[in-house]
Amino acid sequence: MTRQEFIDRLFEGAKKAGIEECEAYFVNSDSFDVDILDQNINTYSVSESGGMCFRGIYAGKMGYASTEIEDEEAIDMLINGVKNNASILDTEDGESIFEGSESYPNVNTYDEETASVPASEKVAQAMELERLVKAVSDKVLRVDGCGVTSGASSVRIVNSKGLDVSHTSTVYGAAVAPIVSDGGAPSFAFELKFSHNHKDVDIRQVAEAAANKALESLGAVSIPSGTYKCVLRNDMAATLLGTFAGVFSGESARKGMSLLRGREGEKIASDALTLTDDPLYEGGFATRPFDAEGVACFTKDVIKDGVFNTLLHNRETAAALNRKTTANAAKQGYAGKVTVAPTNLFIRPSDISPEKLLEQMGEGVMITSLMGMHSGANPISGDFSLGAKGFMIKDGKKAFPIEQITIAGNFYDILKNIRAVASDLKFGHPGQSSIGAPAVYIGEISVAGK
């Protein structure tokens, strides 16, 4: 059965079964990964995968079902799944099928050449990456992961109201995690670079950045517990922002899990903070023309000069809270319900260099590694207490590396306490590749150490 036949028969069957309006959401992707150890292929993985989610309004409520096989049996399973699931829902107010936006922005996320780089070239590049990282210093013992990954994925949304949109993107990346030692306890760091275009991935830069990060943290020590002034390096500012991005979700607010509900227009952060969600950001990891409901995407400030401007919404959460959608409908993969998520979410940089930012702080700590985000950070209360590493800063300069400390605070408080942000905006921490930040001087923070 071709995809089009599958769609036609599914929609026809749904109509007969009493499903008023319906929508099919398809994701197809292919991926390639190679990991090198000691100039041999350690792991090599190739995949083609796809899945589709069907949702429809039955007796006034939206049911969902999904499958990874598009066959006869799947059509029955999807229709029955939608009916059964819709039947037990309590909510009749929210979700609806969207007929489409008037126009969609053009975004540039697909590169034909990137999609067709031969496997042998990617393997050779991963091997070169390992050689490069080892060449940085004799202290680089080995790698705990050194690889190149690539892939392409496409999304298509088709519905009974006539919407039929699709979008394809490519991704190419390199990552390496060197283990270094100068005879004592080993140290470890991780660096990666991803882009839609393979030409943007400079493995030499990745290798040098990774090795230098690992080397500069050798010989780290703990520091006494106390209150310290603190700068979060750009990648860690992004990590913390990504961990708490849920507080800006209209869905969290609707469920009472964000303290920002109904606070639009209030000053919730320092003047130094402007936070932007930009689905059209050139080269962004989450760049897209439409969201998971098929609504045309657009750029908005979530916080502007410290003033809270908007939550992120899909059509359902916007309707529930009497707002307009911000086209932030999202899905994790293809299955499951439409939720809300940021696209390319970042703190706007200033023109202060990161070195100047440290000088501004004078004495304090700079955090370069955070651990335990999934457990030590509570997105509902905003509280966090996280394992950390970094540097002791004295006279505005790195004095010595530190480890075995925790930093603890509250995200909502941090927003208010930000003293300054730097110019070095960076995206691309693993798992949060669409969250970006420059280095941020967050004022004082509680540190537990020795």
- Does position 142 interact with other proteins (CB under 8 A)? The reply is yes
- Does position 274 interact with other proteins (CB under 8 A)? The reply is no
Q: Which is nearer to other proteins, 175 or 297 (CB)?
A: 175
Q: Which of residues 361-380 bind other proteins (CB under 8 A)?
A: 371-372, 374-376, 378, 380
Minimal distance, residue 62 CB to other proteins, in Å: 10
Spatial separation of the C-alpha atoms in residues 251 and 31, rounded to whole Å: 31
The tokens describing 63, both together, are: 């049911």
Q: Which is nearer to other proteins, 417 or 423 (CB)?
A: 417
- Does position 45 interact with other proteins (CB under 8 A)? The reply is yes
Minimal distance, residue 310 CB to other proteins, in Å: 21
Q: Which of residues 61-80 bind other proteins (CB under 8 A)?
A: 63-69, 74, 77
Q: Which residue has 């227009």 as its token pair? A: 265
- Does position 256 interact with other proteins (CB under 8 A)? The reply is yes
- Contact region with other proteins (CB under 8 A), list: 35-43, 160-168, 236-244, 417-425: 35-43
Cα distance between the two ends of the chain: 65
The tokens describing 62, both together, are: 């939206």
- Does position 221 interact with other proteins (CB under 8 A)? The reply is no
- Does position 403 interact with other proteins (CB under 8 A)? The reply is yes
Minimal distance, residue 74 CB to other proteins, in Å: 7
Spatial separation of the C-alpha atoms in residues 11 and 55, rounded to whole Å: 11
Q: Which one of residues 7, 319, 340, 405 is an interface residue with other proteins (CB under 8 A)?
A: 405
- Does position 147 interact with other proteins (CB under 8 A)? The reply is no
Beta carbons within 8 Å of 375's beta carbon, 6+ residues apart: none
Q: Is the dihedral of CA 11, 14, 20, 25 positive or negative?
A: negative
Q: Which is nearer to other proteins, 89 or 124 (CB)?
A: 89
Spatial separation of the C-alpha atoms in residues 96 and 98, rounded to whole Å: 6
- Contact region with other proteins (CB under 8 A), list: 13-21, 154-162, 332-340, 415-423: 332-340
Q: Which of residues 79-98 bind other proteins (CB under 8 A)?
A: 81, 84-91, 94
Q: Which is nearer to other proteins, 185 or 399 (CB)?
A: 185
Q: Which is nearer to other proteins, 156 or 304 (CB)?
A: 156
Q: Which amino acid is at 194?
A: F
Minimal distance, residue 296 CB to other proteins, in Å: 26
Q: Which is nearer to other proteins, 130 or 278 (CB)?
A: 130
Spatial separation of the C-alpha atoms in residues 365 and 401, rounded to whole Å: 10
Q: Which residue has 């999904």 as its token pair? A: 66
Beta carbons within 8 Å of 425's beta carbon, 6+ residues apart: 234, 346, 347, 348, 349, 436, 437, 438
Bridge partners, 313 (sequence order) = none
- Does position 110 interact with other proteins (CB under 8 A)? The reply is no
- Does position 39 interact with other proteins (CB under 8 A)? The reply is no
Greatest alpha-carbon span in the chain = 74
Minimal distance, residue 425 CB to other proteins, in Å: 27
- Does position 51 interact with other proteins (CB under 8 A)? The reply is yes
Q: Which residue has 């509280």 as its token pair? A: 383
Q: Which one of residues 100, 105, 387, 396 is an interface residue with other proteins (CB under 8 A)?
A: 387
The tokens describing 147, both together, are: 């690889």
Q: Which helix (H) or strand (E) holds 336?
A: none
Which string of x and - marks every residue 306-325 that binds other proteins (by CB under 8 A)? --------------------
Q: Which of residues 157-186 bind other proteins (CB under 8 A)?
A: 179, 185-186
Minimal distance, residue 86 CB to other proteins, in Å: 8
Pseudo-torsion of CA 81, 84, 89, 91, nearest 10°? 70
Q: Which one of residues 165, 168, 188, 193 is an interface residue with other proteins (CB under 8 A)?
A: 188
- Does position 335 interact with other proteins (CB under 8 A)? The reply is yes
Spatial separation of the C-alpha atoms in residues 435 and 98, rounded to whole Å: 28
Burial of 214-229, coded b for 16+ CB within 10 Å and e otherwise, reads bbbbbebeebeeeebb
- Does position 250 interact with other proteins (CB under 8 A)? The reply is no
Count of residues of this chain found to bind other proteins when the rule CB under 8 A is applied = 77
Q: Which residue has 């990346």 as its token pair? A: 173
Measured CA distances, 112 to 14, 29, 193, 303, 414 (Å)? 37, 15, 19, 37, 43
The tokens describing 137, both together, are: 């210093």
